[in-house]
């Protein structure tokens, strides 16, 4: 940064020159501080993202054991009628275990057999059931199937469990490692993209737990929130800004709305518990109630942002419309509101993003329950993404750590998407005057 | 109140008759008992120093003061014999009859066509699309803007130059076929060439409309108006033929203002 020099021929006293130098010095200092602040913020962000991605990336793939499974008709369908109920209640786990035992016929003794069975996930029965339900023709056939490995095996294969550790401190024992090595030598261990994470609901078993249930829950909840808070927020803002008289009463309302925006969100959860659940008797753990509680929380944000946007529309536009005989409502709906729309939408999306990341109020209304099924409607029990992350973070199994980080990545992805949408909508609706 | 003979104009020629009009902003009185007639097919100029109440008076004539919180208007304003300050009068209908052009050009952030078509649309003045097209064209023609914009009717009105925007606003005001047009310093934001065009336009519009114009420029009042009213500190000091006011004012305050001793 070169300090500008006074034009030649211009007489400058020493005092003046010193003053100018001081001015430039303080400006330089200020710029340096600003740049420093930005660098710090970026470092923190980079740190956060790196730590999440480095722990979470491993949740996106999953190890399976490729075994020859005999779909034994005697086990699946002893009477041969292909009755769906019989097919559903068959003992598929035994088929998977038999396939594994066939690989290691030398394993004997209850304890060793139990350890061998422990290589497979508890979810293999569902896996096989789904195959049979999709195509009953496979009963009686011998097919290679990629059976999901248990979470400990998966962690070991991903390298999170050190085989040089003392055996007593290790979740995967020596004999299990030997079997896995044997399977690996036969190319029977496969690592694949974990589709289950994106398609299933929660589970007690980390290798079976998916985020889809929480994603659908969040979507349904936000749908309710948006459907309530957007129209109510705009109506309230328009009425307060354009129609309501200015008096003590409206002043009190305004102060109260501003205060509501600062109320801790858990208080809204308690309110929802007391009013929606206990008084109105609405279903527990449902996106309907979650959405209503979050709508209460986002309303002040939307009202405040909308009022600011309405206030920013130049009065000349109002006068122009009034001057040619538009009614007050026409002025608002034809001119003021369309011009305020970018601001209103930005406020709404900020509010929705807040609601997307909100956990505390939803704990109060039971959305913290362990829910395996993907919700099909707004009255089904459900959980939401941040609560799912909270639940996983609280689970003892080692493999849930990666799941938690993967969930955070998904949540952050949605937030970025929503913010991108906000920018896009702003650009679309933005008009100049 | 029916004492119209006090003024040099017969009651039949007056389009708008204001009697004892006072305006209060909360506790503060901004206008004191103004009596003024606006002539049919004439341009009446309201002059006076800043804050003298001329714009306030103008906004009484289409009840634009209604939208200001705490503003109260008392007295009587009759347009074609109808009292417009009555609560029973619909301000929206009144503003269709008494149009307004503002100080700063304020086209809607819409296309040129929609700017003009908006008034006829909300008042249901056109039968069909062709009818509306014709209204837009004739309004723009009357405002002397048709030749400049006929090729780009769908482009935004805010993209025009300042003078064009103001003529667009005039075209928008006349599109709803008012009887009276109020202009609140319509040239104060324009350069001299654009101003000259607007002044020329005002002179042409006089044939179809009664016009009231508030202006800070005494030259402009002298050029465009037939009658001039001089306001000072909320009081209508003097009103008369423009030529007489500028050459032979009766009141010494008028004299002082037009000779530039204050204002």
Q: What is the per-residue pLDDT for B1?
A: 35
Q: Tell me how far the alpha carbon of residue A198 is from its chain's centroid.
A: 12
Residue numbers of chain A with a pLDDT score lower than 70: 1-9, 431-433
Structure-model confidence comparison of residues A329 and B7, the more confident one: A329
C-alpha Rg value of chain A to the nearest Å: 31
Q: Of A316, A324, A334, which has the smallest distance from its Cβ to B104's Cβ?
A: A316
Does residue A223 share a domain with residue A248?
yes
C-alpha A202/C-alpha A204 separation (Å) is 7
Total count of residues recorded for chain A:
433
Q: Of B95, B107, B108, which has the smallest distance from its Cβ to A325's Cβ?
A: B95
Q: Of A320, A325, A330, which has the smallest distance from its Cβ to B108's Cβ?
A: A320
Instruction: Report, as an integer, the average pLDDT of B23-50.
Output: 92
Q: Please identify which residue in the block is written with the tokens 């035992």.
A: A101
Q: What is the per-residue pLDDT for A421?
A: 87
The answer to whether A322 contacts B64, with C-beta atoms less than 8 Å apart, is yes
Q: Of A322, A325, A335, which has the smallest distance from its Cβ to B108's Cβ?
A: A335
Residue B117: both structure tokens together: 């078509």
Q: What is the per-residue pLDDT for B10?
A: 46
Count Cβ atoms below 10 Å from residue A159 Cβ, excluding itself.
9
CA-closest candidate to residue A388, choices A215, A205, A197, A195? A215
The answer to whether B109 contacts A431, with C-beta atoms less than 8 Å apart, is yes
- CATH number of the domain that residue A278 is part of: 1.10.3720.10
Count Cβ atoms below 10 Å from residue A38 Cβ, excluding itself.
10
Distances B170 to A262, A323, A331, B44, B225 between C-alpha atoms, Å: 48, 11, 19, 17, 17
The answer to whether A324 contacts B64, with C-beta atoms less than 8 Å apart, is no
Q: Answer whether residue A319 is part of any domain.
A: yes
Residue A52 C-alpha, separation from nearest chain B C-alpha, in angstroms: 46
The answer to whether B172 contacts A320, with C-beta atoms less than 8 Å apart, is yes
Q: Answer whether residue A357 is part of any domain.
A: yes
**Which overall architecture, per CATH, does domain B10-105+182-258 show?**
3-Layer(aba) Sandwich (3.40)
Q: Is the per-residue pLDDT at B164 higher than 80?
A: yes
Distances A157 to A58, A107, A137, A160, A333 between C-alpha atoms, Å: 11, 22, 34, 8, 62
Q: Answer whether residue A2 is part of any domain.
A: no
C-alpha A135/C-alpha A288 separation (Å) is 37
C-alpha B157/C-alpha B165 separation (Å) is 7
Domain end residue (candidates: A199, A220, A244)? A199
Q: Answer whether residue A29 is part of any domain.
A: yes
Find the residue in A nearest to B120 (Cα).
A324
Q: What is the per-residue pLDDT for B67?
A: 83
Does residue A77 share a domain with residue A30?
no
Among A324, A333, A340, A429, pick the best mutation site for testing chain B contact (most B Cβ within 10 A): A324
Q: What is the per-residue pLDDT for B8?
A: 45
Does residue A92 share a domain with residue A26?
no
Q: Answer whether residue A4 is part of any domain.
A: no
Contact list in B for residue A314 (CB cut-off 8 A) is: 106
pLDDT digits (tens, 9 = 90+) for B69-102: 889 999 999 998 889 998 888 888 899 999 999 9
What is this model's ipTM?
Answer: 0.87
Total count of residues recorded for chain B:
263
At A66 the three-state DSSP class reads: strand
Q: Is the per-residue pLDDT at B104 higher than 60?
A: yes
The answer to whether A323 contacts B64, with C-beta atoms less than 8 Å apart, is yes
Distances A335 to A136, A315, A318, B17, B237 between C-alpha atoms, Å: 64, 11, 7, 33, 39
Domain end residue (candidates: A22, A41, A57)? A57
Q: What is the per-residue pLDDT for A5?
A: 63
Sequence spans of domains, chain B = 10-105+182-258
Burial of B34 (0-12, 13-18, 19+ CB in 10 A): buried
Contact list in A for residue B120 (CB cut-off 8 A) is: none
Among A323, A326, A429, pick the best mutation site for testing chain B contact (most B Cβ within 10 A): A323
Does residue A96 share a domain with residue A112?
yes
Residue B161: both structure tokens together: 């130059």
Q: Answer whether residue A271 is part of any domain.
A: yes
Q: Of B93, B108, B119, which has the smallest distance from its Cβ to A317's Cβ?
A: B108
Half-sphere exposure of B40 (CA within 13 A, CB side): 10
Contact list in A for residue B119 (CB cut-off 8 A) is: 324-325
Half-sphere exposure of A265 (CA within 13 A, CB side): 21
Which residues pair with residue B24 across a beta bridge? B29, B72
* Residue A269 belongs to domain spanning: 212-429
Q: Is the per-residue pLDDT at B24 higher than 80?
A: yes
Alpha helices for A200-336 (secondary structure H): 212-238, 248-260, 265-272, 287-312, 315-323, 328-330
Half-sphere exposure of A41 (CA within 13 A, CB side): 6
């Amino acid at each position: 940064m070169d300090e500008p020099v006074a034009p030649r021929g211009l007489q400058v006293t020493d005092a003046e020159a010193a003053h100018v130098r001081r001015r430039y010095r303080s400006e330089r200092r200020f710029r340096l501080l600003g740049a420093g602040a930005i660098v710090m913020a970026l470092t923190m962000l980079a740190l956060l993202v790196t730590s999440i991605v480095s722990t979470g990336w491993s949740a996106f793939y999953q190890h399976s054991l490729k075994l020859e499974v005999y779909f034994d008709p005697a086990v699946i369908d002893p009477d041969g009628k292909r009755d769906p109920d019989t097919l559903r209640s068959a003992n598929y786990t035994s088929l998977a275990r038999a396939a594994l035992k066939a690989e290691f016929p030398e394993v004997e003794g209850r304890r060793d057999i139990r350890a061998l069975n422990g290589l497979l996930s508890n979810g293999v029965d569902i896996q096989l059931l789904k195959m049979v339900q999709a195509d009953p023709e496979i009963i009686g056939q011998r097919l290679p199937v990629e059976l999901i490995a248990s979470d400990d095996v998966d962690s070991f294969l991903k390298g999170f469990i050190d085989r040089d550790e003392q055996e007593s401190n290790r979740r995967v024992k020596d004999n299990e490692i030997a079997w896995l090595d044997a399977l690996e030598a036969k190319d029977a261990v496969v690592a694949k993209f974990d589709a289950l994470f994106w398609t299933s609901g929660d589970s007690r078993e980390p290798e079976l737990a998916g985020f889809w249930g929480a994603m659908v829950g969040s979507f349904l909840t936000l749908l309710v929130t948006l459907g309530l808070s957007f129209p109510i927020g705009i109506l309230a803002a328009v009425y307060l800004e354009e129609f309501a008289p200015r008096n003590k009463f409206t002043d009190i309302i305004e102060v109260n709305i501003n205060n509501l925006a600062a109320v801790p969100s858990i208080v809204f959860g308690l309110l929802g518990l007391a009013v929606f659940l206990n008084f109105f008797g609405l279903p527990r753990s449902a996106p309907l109630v979650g959405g209503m509680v979050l709508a209460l929380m986002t309303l002040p944000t939307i009202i405040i942002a909308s009022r600011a946007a309405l206030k920013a529309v130049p009065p000349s536009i109002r006068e122009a419309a009034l001057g040619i005989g538009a009614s007050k409502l026409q002025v608002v709906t034809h001119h003021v509101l369309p011009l305020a729309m970018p601001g209103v939408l930005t406020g709404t999306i900020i509010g929705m993003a807040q609601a997307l990341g909100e956990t505390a109020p939803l704990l109060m209304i039971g959305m913290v329950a362990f829910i395996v099924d993907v919700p099909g409607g707004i009255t089904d029990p459900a959980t939401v993404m941040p609560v799912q992350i909270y639940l996983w973070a609280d689970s003892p199994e080692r493999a849930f750590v990666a799941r938690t980080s993967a969930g955070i990545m998904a949540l952050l992805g949605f937030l970025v998407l929503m913010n991108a949408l906000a920018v896009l909508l702003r650009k679309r609706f933005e008009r100049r005057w | 109140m029916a004492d119209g003979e006090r003024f040099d104009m017969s009651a039949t020629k007056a389009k708008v008759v204001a009697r004892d009009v006072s305006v209060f902003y909360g506790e503060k009185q901004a206008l004191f008992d103004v009596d003024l007639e606006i002539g049919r097919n004439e341009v009446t100029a309201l002059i006076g120093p800043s804050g003298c109440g001329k714009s306030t008076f103008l906004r009484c004539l289409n009840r634009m003061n209604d939208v200001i919180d705490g503003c109260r208007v008392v007295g009587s304003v009759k347009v074609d014999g109808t009292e417009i300050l009555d609560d029973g009068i619909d301000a929206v209908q009144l503003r269709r009859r008494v149009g307004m052009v503002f100080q700063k050009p304020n086209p809607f952030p819409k296309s040129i066509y929609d700017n003009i078509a908006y008034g006829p649309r909300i008042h249901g003045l056109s039968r069909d699309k062709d009818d509306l097209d014709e209204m837009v064209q004739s309004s723009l023609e009357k405002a002397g803007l048709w030749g400049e914009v006929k090729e780009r009717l769908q482009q935004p009105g805010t993209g025009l130059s300042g003078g064009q925007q103001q003529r667009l606003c005039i075209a928008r005001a006349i599109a709803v076929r008012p009887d009276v047009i109020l202009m609140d310093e319509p040239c104060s934001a324009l350069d001299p060439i654009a101003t000259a065009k607007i002044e020329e336009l005002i002179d042409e519009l006089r044939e179809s409309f009664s016009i009231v114009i508030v202006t800070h420029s005494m030259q402009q009042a002298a050029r465009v108006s037939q009658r001039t009213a001089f306001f000072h500190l909320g009081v209508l000091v003097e009103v008369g033929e423009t030529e007489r006011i500028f050459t032979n004012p009766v009141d010494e305050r008028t004299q002082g203002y037009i000779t530039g001793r204050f204002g």
